[in-house]
Copies of this chain bind each other. A is one copy, B any other.
Amino acid sequence: MLPPVNLRPSFNITRSSHVRLTVADLAESKNFYVNALGLVVSDEDERTCYLRGLAEACHHSLVLELDEEGAGRSKRIGFRVFFDEDLDIAYEWFRERGLPAEWVDLPYQGRTLHVSDPIGTPLELCATMETRPRLHINFEQYKGAHAQRLDHYQIFAPDTYELCAFYSELGFRNSEYLERGDKLLGAFMYRKGTCLDLAIIENTGPALHHFAYTVSESRDIFTACDWAGILGYGDGVERGPGRHGPGGMLFAYLRDPDGHRVEVFNSHYQTIDTEVEPVRWDAASLSTNARWGLPALEKWYFEASPFVGVPQIPPAEQPKPMSLERFLLEQPIP
């Protein structure tokens, strides 16, 4: 059911690395990410703020870019490659397939390559960044939920299988996946040795559904929500705290001042080994709330940050998830 995986990909993407978002008010967005999530500012200027999690030694995992007219969109999702030479190989690889690939110069990171996947998701590849001290035990710098590191992205794609096949060729493997019958709807893919670097969900895309930071303990999930409330974004605690079906981790989804969705969650299991089969979930038999509690809102299922300048394609069949709204309508009247 899953596309074949190339375990010896042409070049070595090692992990999800950083995301670039447009925001309407840099101070307000920084306030949200620094005080609610607990990210640390590595550098900033009048139009850009570079943030990292407390356990991150690389310069940035979140880049906020001021865009007064076009806020609320995503510019790129970044991946790391292992060697600098991987970039050159990647350049050729994308060019050969007729996909966009161009070199760019960007502050605080090494040689950088901009490429796009077949549905137009704008990717940014680099092999190095400037480094900064890890602050994971600098408790005097802890704020909010003191998120530790960026973990993964979830994107919408009009055809999950096709995009999953593309990333499988690049060595991404599925830890878990979601099907209706034999139709692949969700692919939970990783390169680093945990569950996820990139989740692909079938819906109008490409679009960035969310990006996710790890927190240390389950209490920190609550702390993120508490801080969202303190900062006036309590209504933006869109889903959770709850426990995932696939993966099984605890989560909460927050909407930031521009409506970008960020997840905080506790840790993943380790993957790495080739003989362990991906876990299959069946959309038909999946209860609306995989573990317990209420389903997610309609907007959690459908809203996502568009990528700047990238046209979106609807899926062949519009998803009809058992959203909270639908669940309440279908409840028997007592």
Contact = CB atoms under 8 A, between A and B. Distances in A.
A216 B267 contact: yes
B287 A243 contact: no
Nearest to A298: B328
A167 to B, nearest CB: 18
Interface in A256-303: 266-267, 269-270, 272-277, 287, 289, 291-294, 297, 299
Interface stretch (A135-143, A181-189, A306-314): A135-143
A273 B14 contact: yes
B276 A57 contact: yes
Contacts of A149: 269-270
A6 B284 CA distance: 49
Given A217-B218, A225-B293, A291-B229, A270 B192 contact: yes
A228 interface: yes
A17 to B, nearest CB: 9
A187 B314 CA distance: 52
A42 interface: no
A134 interface: yes
Interface string A114-155: 000000000000011101001011011000000011000000
A266 B267 CA distance: 11
A325 interface: yes
Contacts of A83: 7, 274
17 contacts: A15-B193, A35-B140, A55-B269, A55-B270, A58-B273, A83-B274, A137-B243, A139-B226, A139-B230, A148-B269, A216-B267, A217-B219, A218-B218, A225-B291, A229-B243, A229-B292, A237-B289
